[in-house]
Amino acid sequence: MDTQALALALPLIGWASHTALLTHRLATARRDPLTGLRTRAGWTVLAERVIRRHRDAVVLLLDLDDFKNLNDTHGHAAGDVALAVTADRLTAWCGRHGIAGRLGGDEFVAIARQAPDLDSLHHVLRQPVTHAGHRLPVSISVGSCRLTDLPVRSLSDALAAADSAMYAAKGSTGRRGIRPLSR
């Protein structure tokens, strides 16, 4: 290869490499490295699309209860296992009809295209997690908001309503559970 051709090709090769690197970083930024779920940014883009296309969509906000105690008692590796298992269970429950994401820490989010069976979600999520030969109890609070219950269908309003419902579930007596915004 002559030097002139090399001089022309080198910037193109550098540009292509840089583009590939940026594309990879963007893709990984939209996925949580621990759980493989979409991050807030990646989930939000898809959730907005679901809201535009599905009038009966339901937004869920989930929070592991007593997560700090789990980490303090059994170690951060146990907490990581609980997060990863919860993500797997939520993803399986969503199936092809929903999208799960991790907002950060012990908070998860999901959107289902139509009214989901919240009892089955609660059953799946409250199963113990096995770590280092121990069965660790898992408790999770879930709040939900049906878009049809909102005066204006927006993701931010649905998340705010699901958040309120989730904290109401955390405040309920007995075991933590699921509290829909309304029925």
Q: Give per-residue pLDDT as tens, 60-116.
A: 999 999 999 999 999 999 999 999 999 999 999 999 889 999 999 999 999 999 877
Instruction: Look at residue 183 in the predicted model and tell me its pLDDT.
Output: 36
Instruction: Look at residue 173 in the predicted model and tell me its pLDDT.
Output: 42
**Higher-confidence position of 180 and 169:** 169
pLDDT of residue 172 exceeding 90: no
Residue 113 near residue 98 (C-beta atoms within 8 A): yes
Long-range contacts of residues 154-161, Cβ cutoff 8 Å, at least 24 apart: 154/51, 155/44, 155/47, 155/48, 155/51, 155/59, 158/51, 158/59, 159/59, 159/61, 159/109, 161/59
**Higher-confidence position of 74 and 5:** 74
Closest CA to 160 of 183, 139, 144: 144
Residue 64 near residue 140 (C-beta atoms within 8 A): yes
For the chain, the domains span 31-172
- Mean pLDDT for 168-177 is 62
Instruction: Look at residue 40 in the predicted model and tell me its pLDDT.
Output: 93
Q: CA 102, CA 70: separation in Å to the nearest integer? A: 19
16-20, 92-96, 109-113, 172-176: least confident range? 172-176
Q: CA 131, CA 75: separation in Å to the nearest integer? A: 10
Closest CA to 51 of 150, 182, 154: 154
The pTM (predicted TM-score) of the whole model is 0.78
Phi, psi of 123 (to 5 degrees): -60, -45
pLDDT category of residue 24 using cuts at 50, 70 and 90: low
pLDDT category of residue 20 using cuts at 50, 70 and 90: low
Provide, rounded to the nearest whole percent, the portion of the chain with pLDDT above 70: 82
Instruction: Look at residue 3 in the predicted model and tell me its pLDDT.
Output: 80
Q: CA 97, CA 45: separation in Å to the nearest integer? A: 16
- What CATH architecture applies to the domain 31-172? 2-Layer Sandwich (3.30)
